[in-house]
């Protein structure tokens, strides 16, 4: 089984720890992971902001880079939803406008869509595991990001994985299914509403008394962590993959840019 890590552009530069965690975790589970160096970005930011034409070359590139792998795994429900939901849609629209030769976008979408999995889907559905042998002795509350929740229908897979982590106490997040307010460029186009939504999410997370606010999309976490660090709140935003990669021998370490889990 050849598995490619699709790391997503935000993770590569800003959250390399998440990528390392995915590799560590999958290799621990006996999966041979490759990281195709030609990958860049799925084009979601362009597409969602209204630049569909600008996103099309990225669709083709994405399909080329990940061709030939049995599975493509990404620690981001949002980017996986872009590939699975919007690539075919983009191909259809380009064809309707007479701009797709039939070998272009439609083929790219057809190649990229079937084997692309969000991390928790891959673990639960493909590898068939919910206990990945992790150890994380902290109280955690989980925010299911919108695209994973609604577009991919991840259901309780992330929570099942978290519940099997030793030492971890999972606390229910009030209003868990509400958006955190990131929304890609929404966060800068409508900063006041975005901040108001983010604040409510953080207040809800704090009300649980949890030490860690866990999510499976680093872009949502970037928005929330940006507010948390500004407010010096005793809460840390941590990607699910980093919790699952953590063991007693090699425990989770906060990045050098952040403080300890309090």
Partner 1 sequence: MSGTYLGLPSFPAAAREATRDGQLRANLRHATHTIRSKRATAISELTDWPQLRAAGAAIKDHTLRHLDHYLLQLEEAVTAAGGTVHWATDADDANRIITALVHATGHTEVVKVKSMTTQETGLNHALAHAGITAYETDLAELIVQLGNDLPSHILVPAIHKNRTEIRDIFTREMTHWGRPAPDNLTDNPTDLAEAARLHLREKFLTAKVAISGANFMIAETGTLAVLESEGNGRMCLTLPDTLITLAGIEKVIPTWQDLEVFLQTLPRSSTAERMNPYTTLWTGTTPHNGPRTFHLVLLDNGRTDTLADTTGRQALRCIRCSACLNVCPVYERTGGHAYGTPYPGPIGAILTPQLHGTTTPLDASLPYASTLCGACYDVCPVAIDIPDILTHLRERITQGGPTTRQGQKTTIKPAKRHRLEHTTMRTTRWTLQHPTALHHAQKLATHTRKLHPKNPPGTTTKAWTTTRNLPQIPPTTFRQWWQQHQKQTTQPTQHTQQAPHTEKAQPAHNTEQNELTPQTPQTPQNGKSEKGQQNEKGGRQQ
According to CB under 8 A, which residues from 33 to 72 bind partner 1? Answer: 35, 37-41, 43, 45-55, 57-58, 61, 70-71
Integer-rounded Cα Rg, in Å, for the chain is 18
Give the interface size with partner 1 as a residue count (CB under 8 A): 109
Closest CA to 42 of 7, 68, 88, 75: 7
* DSSP annotation of 124: I
Confirm or reject binding of residue 238 to partner 1 (CB under 8 A).
no
Confirm or reject binding of residue 14 to partner 1 (CB under 8 A).
yes
Nearer to partner 1, 208 or 233 (CB): 233
Confirm or reject binding of residue 249 to partner 1 (CB under 8 A).
yes
Nearer to partner 1, 208 or 229 (CB): 229
Confirm or reject binding of residue 100 to partner 1 (CB under 8 A).
no
Give every CB contact of residue 1 below 8 A, 6+ residues apart in sequence.
Answer: 31, 32, 70, 71
Tell me how far, at minimum, the Cβ of 209 lies from partner 1, in Å: 22
Confirm or reject binding of residue 260 to partner 1 (CB under 8 A).
no
**Measured distance CA(11)–CA(149) in Å, rounded:** 20
Which 108-167 positions form the footprint of partner 1 (CB under 8 A)?
Answer: 114-115, 117, 121, 124-133, 135, 146-147, 149-155, 157, 164, 166
Pairing of strands 169-171, 236-239: unpaired
Tell me how far, at minimum, the Cβ of 6 lies from partner 1, in Å: 12
Nearer to partner 1, 119 or 146 (CB): 146
Residue 241's beta-bridge partner residues? none
**Do the Cβ atoms of 235 and 261 come closer than 8 Å?**
no
Which 177-236 positions form the footprint of partner 1 (CB under 8 A)?
Answer: 177-179, 181-199, 222-223, 225-227, 229-230
**Measured distance CA(86)–CA(80) in Å, rounded:** 10
**Do the Cβ atoms of 1 and 72 come closer than 8 Å?**
no
């Amino acid at each position: 089984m050849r598995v490619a890590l699709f790391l997503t552009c935000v993770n590569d530069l800003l959250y390399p720890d998440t990528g390392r965690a995915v590799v560590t975790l999958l290799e621990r589970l006996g999966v041979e992971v490759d990281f195709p160096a030609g990958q860049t970005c799925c084009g979601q930011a362009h597409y969602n902001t209204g630049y569909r034409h600008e996103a099309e070359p990225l669709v083709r590139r994405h399909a080329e880079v990940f061709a030939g792998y049995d599975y493509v795994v990404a620690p981001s429900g949002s980017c996986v939803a872009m590939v699975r939901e919007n690539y075919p849609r983009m191909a259809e629209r380009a064809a309707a406008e007479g701009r797709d030769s039939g070998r272009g976008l439609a083929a790219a979408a057809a190649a990229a869509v079937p084997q692309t999995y969000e991390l928790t889907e891959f673990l639960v559905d493909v590898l068939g595991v919910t206990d990945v042998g992790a150890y994380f002795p902290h109280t955690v509350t989980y925010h299911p990001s919108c695209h994973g929740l609604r577009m991919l229908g991840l259901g309780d897979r992330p929570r099942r994985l978290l519940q099997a982590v030793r030492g971890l106490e999972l606390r229910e997040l009030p209003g868990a299914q509400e958006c955190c307010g990131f929304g890609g460029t929404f966060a800068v186009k409508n900063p006041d509403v975005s901040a108001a939504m983010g604040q409510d999410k953080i207040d809800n997370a704090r009300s649980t008394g949890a030490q860690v606010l866990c999510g499976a999309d680093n872009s949502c976490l970037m928005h929330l962590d940006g507010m948390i660090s500004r407010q010096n709140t005793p809460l840390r935003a941590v990607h699910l993959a980093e919790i699952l990669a953590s063991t007693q021998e090699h425990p989770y370490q906060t990045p050098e840019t952040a403080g300890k889990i309090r």
